[in-house]
Amino acid sequence: MSKLFIEDSSLTAIGNAIRAKTGKTGLLSVPSGMVAAINSISGSSGGDSAVIQPLTITANGTYAAPSGVDGYSPVLVNVPIPSSDDDITALVRKTITTYSDDEVEVIRRYIFDGCYNLTSVDIPNTKEIKEYAFYNCHRLNNINAPLLETIGERAFSTSSIGDYVDLNIDFPNVITIGNSAFLKKGELKSIDCPLAETIGSYAFFDCWNLNNINFPSATYIGDYAFDYCRKLTTNISFPLVENIGAGAFRYCEKITYANFPKITSIASDVFQYCSELQSINALLVQSIGKQAFSSCSALTSVNFPNVITLGTNAFSGSGIRSAYLPEITTLSNYTFQYCASLEDVDIPKATSIGQYSFDSCKALTTLDLPLVQSIGNYAFLNCASLTSLILRNSTMCSLSNVGAFQLTPIEAGTGYIYVPFLLLEEYQNATNWNVFRGQFRALEDYTVDGTTTGALDETKINR
């Protein structure tokens, strides 16, 4: 049986609204008289009668008049009456505090939309909650739905700001969480969905109070699913996730460790502004989107042995000191821009260095580029400590403009470019390179701590 609880004190206002609309006087019995009175009201839009019923949802979606329980009188108007008078629907919605139904299997869309005093829902046999079913129920702090499998779009999302209370959810059988299902659900503090496989786009967007999640069976995380979850727990683990959408954890400032052992692609903006992220386990990743780790100021090293594609600004503004990217062939524009602590970069197969790739990497002193064939505009702009650039390729590398070494020791005459001896004169006379002709040295003469290291290291390239 379905039970909706309305405080007795609210019935007077509802009764007055009914009398005002029907022109009737006198008392209304509760609940039967009020139900009959509501259903007798005619609509004023196109001559159609208003469809208004007390709410009892059965398994087949039909309605039946509920009976009173313990001094409370259950009643709910389902469809607003088109009138300029007091909206009975709004009056009823704002008074509901508890909903209980041990038969309903599907909660219809919009059914509790705007019931902002609803605090408790007990639906032990429900398997699906449709779109917007509990939209804007921002005082909801207790949900019992042990058999629930599917949560529809915006089912529990909130657009207004209210008197938030902590909401901790345990959905042991949920498999699918729809797009924006809990969007801006500020009261949501924790959620445990051990069987959930799909987390839709924006599912938990701006759940600013959320700090604990458990999705061990998830294989897909949609775009911006946890964006702006600023209190999300320090360690997150998704052992089965293979695909993760753009911006999924953007602005999750409290995450320190991320475990994604099966993921093969990290989309754009996924960890952007995760200011406390220190490390990530994602060794199978082959592509990283633009700004994926931008502004991760606590991230000190990146180890992606299988990455072959990097988006622009992939690590810009991060705190990394070392980067291991052995399979990358094209270093995209702005890849390490403003990585002021970057000291060690291992990119043995890179053939192209994009524009501004190392802009303002002020701690970088030496860069070894065994196979590079082109260097983009302002690639090393403001690399204030870059004293040694090593170009080992037996083929000439092109230089897009002289600004590539602006504000570097090489421009100032205190840094050097090491190239194969057989190409030394060619570099000194080549377009753009000729501006730095006095800074060229033979690769064979390059030494570190007195040890000659000019020969091409084949093991480094082929490992």
Dihedrals φ, ψ of 57, to 5°?
Answer: -95, 130
* Residue 347 CB contacts under 8 Å (≥ 6 apart), including other chains: 323, 325, 326, 328, 331, 369
**Which of 55, 87, 119 delimits the end of a domain?**
87
Question: Which stretches of the chain drop beneath a pLDDT of 50?
Answer: 1-9, 28-35, 39, 41-88, 450, 452, 454-463
Q: What total of structural domains would you count in the chain?
A: 2
pLDDT at position 398 is: 96
Residue 118 lies in a domain: no
Which structural domain, as residue segments, surrounds residue 367?
A: 348-463
Query: Can you tell me the distance from the alpha carbon of 459 to that of 214, in angstroms, rounded to the nearest whole number?
Result: 43
Residue 101 lies in a domain: no
pLDDT tens digit string along 342-380?
999 999 999 999 999 999 999 999 999 999 999 999 999
Question: Read out DSSP for 144-207?
Answer: E-TT--EE-TTTT---S------EEEE-TT--EE-TTTTTT-TTEEEEE-TT--EE-TTTTTT-
pLDDT at position 289 is: 97
Task: Quote the DSSP letter at residue 71.
Answer: T
Residue 427 lies in a domain: yes
**Which of 25, 58, 87 delimits the end of a domain?**
87
Residue 27 lies in a domain: yes
Residue 13 lies in a domain: yes
* Residue 29 CB contacts under 8 Å (≥ 6 apart), including other chains: none
CB 201 within 8 A of CB 176: no
pLDDT tens digit string along 115-151?
888 889 999 999 999 999 999 888 888 999 999 999 9
**Which of 68, 87, 106 delimits the end of a domain?**
87
DSSP-derived 3-state class of residue 67: coil
CA atoms within 13 A on the CB side of 149: 4
352: left (phi over 0), alpha (psi -120 to 50) or beta: beta
Alpha helices by DSSP H, listed for 23-112, are: 32-39, 88-93
Span between the terminal Cα atoms of the chain, in Å: 68
Query: Can you tell me the distance from the alpha carbon of 11 to that of 426, in angstroms, rounded to the nearest whole number?
Result: 93
Task: Quote the DSSP letter at residue 219.
Answer: -
CB 124 within 8 A of CB 169: no
CATH code at position 358: 3.80.10.10
Between helices 8-22 and 32-39, what is the axis angle to 10°? 30
Residue 361 lies in a domain: yes
pLDDT at position 24 is: 60
- Helix, strand, coil share (%) of the chain residues, nearest 5: 15, 20, 65
pLDDT at position 404 is: 96
Query: Which segments within 374-446 are labelled E, that is strand?
Result: 374-375, 388-391, 398-399, 416-419, 440-442
Residue 160 lies in a domain: no
CA distance to 81, 224, 234, 298, per residue, from 295 (Å):
52, 17, 17, 9
Residue 116 lies in a domain: no
- Output the pTM of the full model: 0.79
Q: Which two tokens stand for residue 224?
A: 């911006």
